[in-house]
Amino acid sequence: MTAACGLLPVLDQEEDTPSYEMSDYEGARARWCPGCGDHSVLTAVQRLLAAEQLKPEQTVFVSGIGCSSRFPHYLSTYGFHGIHGRALPVATGIRLHRPDLRVFVVMGDGDCTSIGAGHWVHAMRYNLDMVVMLLDNAIYGLTKNQTSPTTPQGFRSNTQPHGSWLPALNPLSVALGVTNASFVAQTAEWVPSHLYATLRAAYAHRGLGFVRILQRCPMYSSAVYQAAVQDPARIGLLVHDDGVVVPDLEKVYTTQVAHDPHDLDAARRLAGVTDRIHLGVLFRDPSRPRYEEIRRVAPRTAEERLVELNLELDRYAV
């Protein structure tokens, strides 16, 4: 586990209240490869934390296993670096028992859509109030180039050297097919202003904000999104007053797609498009029930929690 430490927040001279800068959220030096899209995501997250003035001691990042799952080490907030595919069950427990904390979950495509797929589906259905980021580079990068569920058909890897046999799983279609899903969006790490705006929209959402972030692995899968990086015409920006609008991008990405994120059928159609990458909020419905409202956990003191923890541990005493 990692924990907030060594923070010296700047004090606002007028209100004498803590004011956090991006640097206040920096943890250990990121050890991702140069050119890895995770760096861009980390910067966007730090911008979000500073913009929302989230207290490091009241913010927690949960991850599983993978390159992206090293995220908690690189932030000066509380964090839990768990095991493969199990980030969401841990985050669910934290959210239910510590509703005072702001919870973020970071997963890779293998971590989320393979071994963690069952947890992912049910977390979407529970619709707890937290931000869930899927960093999708379409490959198992940490274990050195194995086919993942989102690897494009025909793409060669160490485990399938003649090309991936099956069509890639579509995380957007899966998420939009889950009962009670309330927020589904897609963005890309090479469009940093859109990435930041999308994360802010997910954070502001009341419920589980699921954001698929298209992310390049410079070592093994840089070719997957290279055509879209080089040709802006391959990207369509979803625009709506209740979505994500970044005016500065209009001159670069001229394909603007008017889309009402409250229209689930239209969102599902857009998710299935294969000749263009759509960035923006596909679906949003803040009225959907949240599990923490249905299953409220009575607040307890630290002493009461310690007693319950010791009782639980005593069950396994030999």
Distance CA 41, CA 43 (A): 5
Q: Which of 131, 93, 157 is nearest to 212 (CA)?
A: 131
Residue 278 pairs in a beta bridge with: 236
- How many of the other CB atoms lie within 10 Å of CB of 111? 31
Q: What percent of the chain has pLDDT over 90?
A: 82
> What was the pLDDT predicted at 143?
84
**The residue count for the chain:** 318
> What was the pLDDT predicted at 2?
47
Consecutive H or E run containing 280: strand 277-284
Residue entry with tokens 């908690």: 72
User: Cα-flanking dihedrals φ and ψ of residue 301, to 5°?
Assistant: -75, 165
Consecutive H or E run containing 19: strand 18-19
Angle among Cα 200, 201, 207 to the nearest 5 degrees reads: 115
Distance CA 21, CA 300 (A): 32
Distance CA 165, CA 152 (A): 9
Cβ atoms of residues 49 and 59 within 8 Å: yes
> What was the pLDDT predicted at 284?
98
Cβ atoms of residues 57 and 98 within 8 Å: no
SS3 string of 15-77?
CCCEECCHHHHECCCCCCCCCCCHHHHHHHHHHHHHHHCCCHHHEEEEECCCCHHHHHHHECC
- What the chain holds in terms of domains, given with CATH numbers, is 10-293 (3.40.50.970)
269-302: per-residue pLDDT in tens?
Answer: 999 999 999 999 999 999 999 999 888 767 678 8
21 Cβ contact partners less than 8 Å away, ≥ 6 residues apart: 10, 50
163-207: per-residue pLDDT in tens?
Answer: 999 999 999 999 999 999 999 999 999 999 999 999 999 999 999
97-111: per-residue pLDDT in tens?
Answer: 899 999 999 999 999
What's the maximum distance between 2 C-alpha atoms anywhere in the chain?
68
Cβ atoms of residues 244 and 195 within 8 Å: no
The pairing of beta strand 130-136 with beta strand 102-108: parallel
> What was the pLDDT predicted at 16?
60
Distance CA 30, CA 38 (A): 9
Cβ atoms of residues 290 and 249 within 8 Å: no
Consecutive H or E run containing 131: strand 130-136
Cβ atoms of residues 190 and 216 within 8 Å: yes
